Structure 1
Amino acid sequence: MHTLITPADLAALLVVGPAPRILDVRWKLGGPPGRTEFRRGHLPGAVYVDLDTELAGHGEPTDGRHPLPAPDDLQAAARGWGLNDGDTVVVYDDLGNMSSARAWWLLRNAGVRDVRLLDGGLGAWRADGLPVVEGEEPVTPGSVTLGFGALPTLDADAAAALAQDGVLLDARAAERYRGDSEPIDPRAGHIPGAVNAPTGGNLDADGRFLPAAELRARFEALGVRAWPGADAAAGRVGELASAGAPASPVGTTSGAADGDETEAGPDASGGAAAVPDAGFDVGVYCGSGVTAAHEAVALTLAGFAPALYPGSWSQWSNMPDRPVATGDAPGH
């Protein structure tokens, strides 16, 4: 299953067909409205997707800033984008796929068979001299049926345990990880034991994903390993997603990566379960579960099976009983 598509390949697909459903997911924290930018110029046939209202739920601060949308809400939104069963979907933005990766992850988690990121995003499309169009066209609603739970997720308890007994990556910028600055959440720092891996390190100077071998070397240097069972899962995550295979959560940690219901929470002795039994190799979080999806894409390209902590720092920092580490060190 392909994860990326180049501008040239997408342009050819638009000519020879069948045309994929293209989703424009431009969004920036505190930036201009993405829909305004969309109307000024977007890929032919693209539909705008609002990350805040369509790719996230809404709840209490302890749910995080961008909790996962309810399955029925995501299905209604996807039908509004014109998505039908069996469609190929291409997602893009104008910031190295930092926001469109959220759509990729949600649709794969919902069982959509073929979801790809436009490598390099809108910038790469323009750099290749390919056309953009202005305005916004009406969309014929689709009839897609979505599932839920095909990819592994973590709740706060599982993230805390993984940071101590496995590898939990913090995808935020180094200054936020260290606690030097915190522009939006109530506390500064990181989950004790988490390792910093800013998402910018996944891309080259042109905003394209690094080659798989370079990504793998990057994550291995941070301690990520492919565990037996989970190693095969890295290649099977797409199969599970395409089948819409539901996964029973552990806490809310899913065992979908190996297709079995597995426990990754506390074991009978009160300790954390061993990572090799969890059905994934590594956990990822960010500020609110958006750019962590970008890290999940990079890990998938590198051949690892990642689990996403959707609540991320915006949830953790709103829980007064959760410890916080600061500085460059993980701080177990």
Structure 2
Amino acid sequence: MMINVDFKILVFISAAKHLNFTRAAKEMNISQPAVSKNIKELEAQAGRSLFERTGQRIRLNEAGRLFFEYAMRLVNVYETLNGELGLLDGILLGELRLGASNTLSHYILPNILADFHIAFSTISLKVLHGNSRMIEELLLDRTIDLGVTEGLSDNPSMKYETFIKDEVVLVTRSGNPKLEQVDSLHPQKLLELEYVLREDGSGTNEIIRKALTTVDIDWHALYVKVYLASTESIKSFLSKTDCFSFLSIHAITAELQNGTLQIVEVDGLTIDRNFYFVRPHGVIGHLPETFRKFAYERFVKNGLFHSEGNVL
């Protein structure tokens, strides 16, 4: 059993985040009129309106912004209380809300989350994904408890801790005739290949660009046949063409095992990066701390833990 926040407050939080009653209704699994009814009842209790309404658009007014701040605090207090009550019986209770960038949410976290669920079946899990900046925003508005990202930022309110190491590698389909059975490529040969890459703005692209400069290759000189929006679409494209791409080693584990794709070594080129846990400075809650420790221990066992353990 858990002690829950007043449902009207949860409806308000959803409406305040989306600034749209229809989206709030979908998230809360109720009708739009029910959202309006809950908001009106809450406003009646508060003795004032919480939203400014202009036609079909809504936004929080001054009272609404204040109410939202305290509503989020209240939710966190209830979650902490439920967690503490559970600990009295040696049980962890509550919902763990994680945010992860794309490579992590698709290729690394699922297996960890499955093991975590088996170990802590009383904890419910919710994972949102986006780029590093989006994850920071979700942390700041307390939509999530802990983030896992592919890069650092200069945001002084965020605390970053190294999780695991990643390597970005040159990949193509097995048996690609353009390789001519060579074990590795001279960097200048990269200019003779055709590529499929992530869309402009990808953080991975920036990492690749910087690494290529170390072997005197201009990123913009690469012949890119097509830009695609996801790693999965890139892998499908590679399997049917003679193109090449740069992908995370974690994203191609299955393809390497079944022989669909192969790594191509490039003389003198190494593209390393770290994945990080990120959260606001301050005390971390029971659930995110439990997950953080569990994830570290899992990768220690698999020999993938980045032992530096830097805290930034």
Q: TM-score normalised by the shorter chain: which range applies?
A: under 0.3
Normalised to the residue count of structure 2, the TM-score between the two structures is: 0.24
Normalised to the residue count of structure 1, the TM-score between the two structures is: 0.23
Higher helix proportion: 2
Higher strand proportion: 2
